[in-house]
Amino acid sequence: MKICVPTSGQGGYDDAVSEHFGRAPTYTVVDTESEKVNVISNKSEHMGGTGKPPEQIAQTGAQILICSGLGPRAIGMFESYGIEVYVGAQGSARQAVEMWRAGKLQKASDENACKEHRH
User: Which residue ranges make up each domain of the chain?
Assistant: 2-114
**2-114: in CATH 1.20.1430.10:** no
The pLDDT score that the predictor gives to residue 107 is 93
The pLDDT score that the predictor gives to residue 114 is 60
* pLDDT tens for each residue of the chain, 119 residues long: 999 999 999 999 999 999 888 899 999 999 999 989 999 999 988 778 888 999 999 999 999 999 998 888 888 999 999 999 999 999 999 999 999 999 999 998 766 556 554 43
Q: Say what the pTM is.
A: 0.90
Pairing of strands 84-87, 64-67: parallel
55 vs 44: CA distance, rounded Å: 9
Helix-, strand-, coil-residue percentages of the chain, each rounded to 5: 30, 25, 45
